[in-house]
Amino acid sequence: MVFLLASCQTVEPWERDRLAKQDMQLTPNVLDARLADQVFFSKEAASGGGASAGGGCGCN
Amino acid sequence: MGPKNQLTPLALLSAAALSLPAFSASQPTERVVSVNTSVYQEGDADAAEVVFGDLQRFRVKTNQFNLSAPIGRDWSMSLGYDNEAMSGASPWGTVAASDGSGDLIMSGASIDDSRNGVDVNLTRHWRGQSLGVSVGYSGEHDYHSRSLGLNYERDFFKQNTTLALSVSYSSDELTPTDAQLFQRLEKGSKHTRSFYASVNQLLSPVSMLSLGFGITKRIGELSDPYKLRDVRPGKRVERTLTANYRRYFDWQTSSLAVDYRYFWDSYSVGAHTLAMSWMLGDEAGMQWGPMLRYYSQSAAAFYTPWDRYDQLETIAQSSDFRLSTFGAVSYGLKARYRIGAVQISMQYERYDSGSGYALSSAKTEHPGLVDFEVLSLGAEYRF
């Protein structure tokens, strides 16, 4: 992590227009992400890896 | 540089401030209302591998709503609502087949249920940090879940680095239907605690990386009460390592997203998930792109290809296909079209699973492994 941070260039606020695009976000569409989480949670043993604190379901 | 491009530093800063990326702790600047409707359809079970029950598997219709908005100068909120209506048959158990594999015992197709879920989040923003609290509820006629979460984010190094921490707790109650008729568990509960930490780092004006670690502990009734013989340990500890990479290309104004997750738990399941998507086109107009996801898991330590009635009920066992060794490939297309403040989106995804896709070898393939398709249509309004 230290090497990663050391190798990064500082990105100034006025250089962030492309980083602000919808598809550059970790969750570009919150509804698509919720749907995918629900579908995969109900069919696979692995889940998690995100910060969401949503309720469980009887599907798994 | 022509007159059209002569922007003052103040104008540049203002434009940048209006479009701050969501992975900083900054207050959002826009109100966003979004709706989505989708149909999920599983492929039928193979008649040659079913000894009892219906072949028609699950179909789920989902309607979703989300509102997110800034409140005043220092607060923001979001409200999410999901409604699902599901019907179809699901595996009840497996029996040994003559060829050494297992055959399925399916339920009837009379399973008909609905789920309603709501999540509310309220976040306070300070200069370079934010603290949010969220509450959620999800209810089905035989399952109720209540959750509470806290999220903290802090920016460092001129907002080039963001640390995100979250904790959550959920309390679930199970009241299986026809419990006395089928001698099922009549009432049970389970409790889930989660912690997740991630560091988001801007690598350049066109790329960013996020690394995360999560741990989840589940305690309580973790067996499936609808299976004929399903005995799972009452405690499960899950861990995840995640890496998310985003890269923007001026060529075709496209964006590449790569997400990887490694999952391992106290059931001895290990799983890799790699998802990639590529969107082309200007977000002010038409965008489209393919997506691809690969998944592979190893079996739980107590997984058995068919139900073992010769074992005591105190010994852990499960023939649930979701605990078997298998892999899956899913692929699809998504498209979006923006007209002013409104964006219309469409997405199709197909999921194929099998033991042959797994990184580790399986002795037999579970006959309950499922293929499915999801088609969704959505709309978003920003103001």
Which chain B residues touch A12 with a CB distance below 8 Å?
A: 158
B300:A45 CB<8 A: yes
Beta strands in chain B (DSSP E): 32-42, 50-52, 59-71, 75-88, 91-96, 102-106, 111-126, 129-140, 143-156, 161-174, 188-204, 207-220, 235-249, 254-265, 270-279, 286-297, 326-339, 342-354, 372-382
**Per the structure block, which two tokens stand in for B156?**
């460092």
Look at residue B3 in the predicted model and tell me its pLDDT: 41
B157:A20 CB<8 A: no
B201:A16 CB<8 A: no
B127 occurs within a structural domain: yes
Residue whose token pair is 């979701």: B322
User: What is the distance of C-alpha A19 from the center of its chain?
Assistant: 14
B112 occurs within a structural domain: no
B38 occurs within a structural domain: no
φ, ψ of residue B106 to 5 degrees: the values are -100, 160
CATH of the domain at B227: 2.40.170.20
B136 occurs within a structural domain: yes
B75 occurs within a structural domain: no
Look at residue A52 in the predicted model and tell me its pLDDT: 56
Beta-carbon count within 10 A of B188 CB: 16
Q: Tell me the ipTM for this assembly.
A: 0.91
User: For every one of its 383 residues, what pLDDT tens digit does chain B have, with 9 covering 90 and above?
Assistant: 334 444 455 454 444 444 455 467 788 889 999 999 999 999 999 999 999 999 999 999 999 999 999 999 999 999 999 999 999 999 999 999 887 778 999 988 766 789 999 999 999 999 999 999 999 999 999 999 999 999 999 999 988 999 999 999 999 999 988 878 888 888 999 999 999 999 999 999 999 999 999 999 999 999 999 999 999 999 999 999 999 999 999 988 999 999 999 999 999 999 999 999 999 999 899 999 999 999 999 999 999 999 999 999 899 999 999 999 999 999 999 999 999 999 999 999 999 999 999 999 888 899 999 999 999 999 999 99
Beta-carbon count within 10 A of B104 CB: 26
B98 occurs within a structural domain: no
Structural domain harbouring B338: 117-382
B55 occurs within a structural domain: no
Which chain A residues touch B374 with a CB distance below 8 Å?
A: 35, 39
Torsion sign, CA atoms B313, B317, B318, B319:
negative
Number of domains in chain B: 1
Whole-angstrom CA distances from B50 to B46, B95, B103, B107 are 7, 10, 6, 11
B157 occurs within a structural domain: yes
Look at residue B1 in the predicted model and tell me its pLDDT: 37
Q: Give residue-wise pLDDT tens across range A39-60.
A: 999 999 999 987 654 456 777 7
DSSP letters, B319-381, are: --GGGSSEEEEEEEEEEEEEETTEEEEEEEEEEEEEGGGSSS--SS--TT---EEEEEEEEEE
CA-based nearest residue to B320, from B227, B188, B210, B207: B227
Distance CA B264, CA B136 (A): 26
